[in-house]
Amino acid sequence: MKDVNECRARLAGIFNITVTPFDASGALDRAGLARSIERVIGLGYDGILIGGTYGEFPAMSPAERAELFRAAMEVAGDRVPVMLCSAASDARTARELTALAGELGGLPMVTPPFVSEVTDVQIAAFFEEMAPLSRTGILIYNAPGIGITLAPDLIERLADIPGVAGIKQGDLSVTAIDRIANRLGGRIKLFCASDLAFLGPMMAGFDGISSTNSCALPELILATYRALEAGDAATAREMHKCWYAFRALARRHGQPQMVKAAMNLRGFDGGHVRAPLRDLDAEAFAEVTAMMQALAADPRTRVTLKG
């Protein structure tokens, strides 16, 4: 993508949050990453997100993250829009990765600076500094999971910053979604940050979703989204119910370790997680295996297991 206008035009639909496959030694599996990207593009996903929270960016050095950006863009090219997470607790790293992401033709996804007691004024100043660094603009990630939740008042203020292409909204409370959808829809692109509960935001008028679990269940989650997109809410609801057991285990065992285990069961390139995360132990892996076997037995899911 060449500029923020093109980004805004292309930012819509379902984006796969691609996990970062590490081998047993902790090294990036570039071939596995390429296969994962090709899989979701081939299935018809509208875009991908690289190096996000579930891509384990906090466990990677700035140099490794830059390598990941380049590797992903070499594979994806301009076939689909690519979000590249440039979030960092060190503003210097955020600046460096934001500029690189835009230079590569991706859209930098930037969180608020996750330091203690940062004020709204300081958050706004941070994004005002970040946006001009990228020729493609920036995507603001409202990520309560890392400790800072942007209130709707502040989001509206940030939406007026030149170069802000959209927001990936992780606060999925009904009042926040209602206000953002009705006050910011059409001004910036609105993405639901979770595939666990995307039906409501999409019905409210959001432009798209990002999905980590689609790394393990790409066919099922894509079909669910397309049904909703086509106005078939009943089918979307029933398909979303199909993988409730998956979501329940993910909450218990944590992400991305659970989705990587499920990917490996399918013969996909989940690989390993990096410390401080740990791969699932034998008992948890047995639970995931049983759940995936049950999903594979349901003809609606199109899930197949290796072997």
User: Would you give the DSSP letter of residue 15?
Assistant: E
260 is catalytic: no
Query: pLDDT tens across 120-152, in order?
Result: 999 999 999 999 999 999 999 998 877 788 999
Per-residue confidence (pLDDT) for residue 113, from 0 to 100: 86
Backbone angles phi, psi at 274, to 5 degrees: -105, 150
Per-residue confidence (pLDDT) for residue 144, from 0 to 100: 86
Residue 211 lies in a domain: yes
Residue 256 lies in a domain: no
Residue 283 lies in a domain: no
Per-residue confidence (pLDDT) for residue 117, from 0 to 100: 84
The active-site residue out of 2, 45, 54, 168 is 168
pTM of the model: 0.96
Mean pLDDT computed over 176-183: 95
Query: pLDDT tens across 72-127, in order?
Result: 999 999 999 999 999 998 999 999 999 999 999 999 999 998 887 889 999 999 99
What is the number of domains present in the chain? 1
2 is catalytic: no
Contact 205, 190 (CB under 8 A): yes
Residue 303 lies in a domain: no
Per-residue confidence (pLDDT) for residue 307, from 0 to 100: 74
Helix, strand, or coil here: 59? helix
Is pLDDT above 80 for 265?
yes
Per-residue confidence (pLDDT) for residue 145, from 0 to 100: 79
Q: Which two tokens stand for residue 294?
A: 């049950």
The active-site residue out of 141, 189, 225, 260 is 141
Identify the CATH number of the domain in which residue 60 sits: 3.20.20.70
Residue 305 lies in a domain: no
Contact 208, 46 (CB under 8 A): yes
Per-residue confidence (pLDDT) for residue 197, from 0 to 100: 84
The number of residues in the chain equals: 307
Helix, strand, or coil here: 166? strand
Quote the domain boundaries for residue 12: 4-232
Residue 198 lies in a domain: yes
